[in-house]
Structure 1
Amino acid sequence: MSDTRTLINPAQLNRTVYRVTLLLVVVVFSLVFLGPLYLLVTDGLKTTAESIATPPTFYPHHVQVSNYSDAWNRLNIEQLLVNTLWYAFGALAFQLVLDVAAAYSLSKLRPVLGNVILGLMLASLMIPAMVLIVPQYLTVLDLPLVHLNLLNSPWAIWLPSVANAFNIYLLKRFFDSVPQELLDSAAIDGAGPLRTLWSIVLPMSRPILGVVSIFALVNVWKDFLWPLLAEPDPTKQTLNAGIYSLSLGVPQNVLIAAAAISAVPTVLFFLIFQRNIMSGLTAGSLKG
């Protein structure tokens, strides 16, 4: 059977269809993800009447850049940012110490019933976070055994953040990929488990430690309900909770500007560290 000659090469036509389809998909998904951010930023530049108008406008007809400075001053965003950084890096420090220790124990020390403990940790990921709010609140209200009230203190933010089964699983999966021969060699040279962790395992684990650090910071930064309950004093709350607590009497456009300011750090985190996130998540997927 002879080939049919046409004016357009079928292979070239397939490449053109592929490129057009890819371009449409990229444009649609970009609009879906960037559209809300665009509306958030531009609504913060509108007048109060325009920001609550129905139907909404897609760009500010009368730009008011002063909304952002008003939001910064009226909602005391500088102090809220300091609070959030304090809580976020404190939670990060506790997670790096305790979650690394838990993951290393489950991966290399292999305690009795270690698989059962890991299974229970992973099962906790199936429980909605909202279900845990009440028991978690009662726990920090009257800490068992020592009977301390941790409300309105940084410990109410730091301690619950340590119980992060997802980060422990990520760390354990990476530690599983560390060759056992290296640990055996260190043991022959007289290194104990702690020295082996510090001198061999952790230097090899920088990619996954970076991912866990980013997750720890972003989780505290974006959390709203728990900081609102655990820190009743608005001057001690995180950025999102503090904006809500101090929003009484503040115009709608100024609140939107404040919300846009609070979204900037997390967006920058992702843009700067997106490559580290992806490489860290796949770093422990292969053995050897």
Structure 2
Amino acid sequence: MTSTTDTSPADVEPSILRVTTTSPAPGGADPGQDPSRRPRRRRGRGSDDSNDRGIVSPSDWRRRGIRRSLRTSHVVLLAILAFTGLGPILWLGKAAITPTQDTLRTPMAIFPNGVDWENLQAAWSTIHLDVQFLNTVWVALGSWAIQILVATTAGFALSVLKPKYGPILNGLVLATLFVPAVVLLVPLYLTILDVPFLGVSLINTFWAVWLPAGASAFNILLVKRFFDNLPPEIFEAARTDGAGPFRLFFSIVLPMSKPILGVVSVFAIIAAWKDYLWPSLVLADPKVQPLSVRLPLLQQTIELDVYLAALAISTLIPIILFVLFQGLFLRSAGLGGAVKG
């Protein structure tokens, strides 16, 4: 029979007692660390991410002098940018209602001899800006419709349908971006002059501007890139339910593509509104010429004040359109996400 012996506290080694009775260092510091050295405090607002640091540190930003000087520099910089961008437009608006002699003698003076409102009426009635404005609207709308049609269908085919030779087609479309537009003027003009297989000429018709505008590789790649980011699970579920290519395009892709369609629309309308070189080559008839082509041709035939008034009216029209539809433009240019949630 084995007997147990009781161990008294006196028999325990003193080293064990010292280990168990050792208390941690105050403040959670390492016992092996020199207590005379304090831990280094981090600068900043509680964040150690160096990517959040700017030119001015948070401690310097608390100083009133530095904060005031930075805000003053921001205001001055914004004022310079606003004056640089709006200065020519404001001067054009001033010159549009100023007599020719005053504009030539003192171009920077503000109405030295009063205002001449007859310039606007003379410009509208003499140059027939209403006809040129309607031509510009037709050119812009037609170019927009063709570009939307080509960009969405081509982007859908390359991104969603994924044909066998899709990468090759994508490379060919991308290669056209490296070809200068001036190089294509002569072959494109000959094609418009005598359309292959049809034997008709599109000169002095809006189709001469609409059809070349649709061949925009930039818009095709932009729309394709957006379609690539759409969730593939949606297309797989639609195909499982029996949806074909047309159902995918009209019922799924187009409703989800409002942001990119808005961006392409803004690019297309602005480019068509201010385009000069190609419309001046294919639209020689004054009855179909837009504002960007007709106004430069009248520079030497009318008075300077009337000409400046016509330029001001042609510039004011797109500004008014942007102000009226700025909400749509800004929402479209946001490119938020294709799917919410």
Q: Which residue of 2 aligns with 1:15?
A: 67
Please list, as runs of the form range in 1=range in 2, the aligned pairs for 1:88-127 lying within 5 A after superposition: 88-127=140-179
Q: Does 1:237 align with 2:293?
A: no
- Higher mean Cα deviation, 208-217 or 150-159? 208-217
Q: Which residue of 2 aligns with 1:57?
A: 108
Check whether the contact 2:143–2:268 (CA below 8 A) recurs between aligned residues: yes
Q: Does 1:138 align with 2:170?
A: no
Q: 1:157 to 1:148 in 2, by over 3 A?
A: same
Letter in 2 for 1:239: L
Q: 1:130 to 1:71 in 2, by over 3 A?
A: farther
Q: CA RMSD in A?
A: 2.4
- Give the drift of 1:86: 1.4
- Give the drift of 1:10: 5.2
Q: 1:47 aligns with which of 99, 119, 124?
A: 99
Classify the secondary structure of the residue corresponding to 2:63. Answer: helix
Q: 1:46 to 1:270 in 2, by over 3 A?
A: same
- Give the drift of 1:215: 1.7
Letter in 2 for 1:251: E
Q: Which residue of 2 aligns with 1:262?
A: 314
Q: Is the helix fraction higher in 1 or 2?
A: 1
Check whether the contact 2:133–2:290 (CA below 8 A) recurs between aligned residues: yes
Check whether the contact 1:52–1:252 (CA below 8 A) recurs between aligned residues: no
Q: 1:33 aligns with which of 85, 93, 96?
A: 85
- Give the drift of 1:167: 1.6
Q: Distance in 2 between matches of 1:36 and 1:119?
A: 42
Q: Which residue of 1 aligns with 2:14?
A: none
Alignment deviations for residues 97-152 of structure 1 (CA, whole Å, 9 cap, x no partner): 22210111111112234333333333433444333332222221122232321100
Q: Distance in 1 between matches of 2:260 and 2:313?
A: 29
- Give the drift of 1:218: 1.6
Question: Higher RCO, 1 or 2 (CA under 8 Å, sep at least 6)?
Answer: 1
- Give the drift of 1:29: 0.4
Q: Which residue of 1 aligns with 2:15?
A: none
Q: Distance in 1 between matches of 2:159 and 2:141?
A: 26
TM-score, length basis structure 2: 0.75
Q: Which residue of 2 aligns with 1:194?
A: 246
Alignment deviations for residues 151-189 of structure 1 (CA, whole Å, 9 cap, x no partner): 001110110110112221221121112111111111111
Letter in 1 for 2:302: V
Classify the secondary structure of the residue corresponding to 1:125. Answer: helix
- Give the drift of 1:23: 0.5
When Rg is computed on C-alpha atoms for both structures, the one with the higher figure is 2
Q: 1:262 to 1:161 in 2, by over 3 A?
A: same
Q: Which residue of 1 aligns with 2:280?
A: 228
Q: Distance in 2 between matches of 1:197 and 1:69?
A: 49
Letter in 1 for 2:152: V
Check whether the contact 1:142–1:148 (CA below 8 A) recurs between aligned residues: yes
Alignment deviations for residues 38-86 of structure 1 (CA, whole Å, 9 cap, x no partner): 1111111111122333x62242323111111111111100011111111
Q: Distance in 2 between matches of 1:20 and 1:170?
A: 40
**Structure 2 residue runs without a partner (length 5+):** 1-59
Q: 2:221 aligns with which of 169, 180, 192?
A: 169
Alignment deviations for residues 178-223 of structure 1 (CA, whole Å, 9 cap, x no partner): 1111111111111111111100111111121112112212211111
Check whether the contact 1:173–1:284 (CA below 8 A) recurs between aligned residues: no
Classify the secondary structure of the residue corresponding to 1:168. Answer: helix
Classify the secondary structure of the residue corresponding to 2:284. Answer: coil
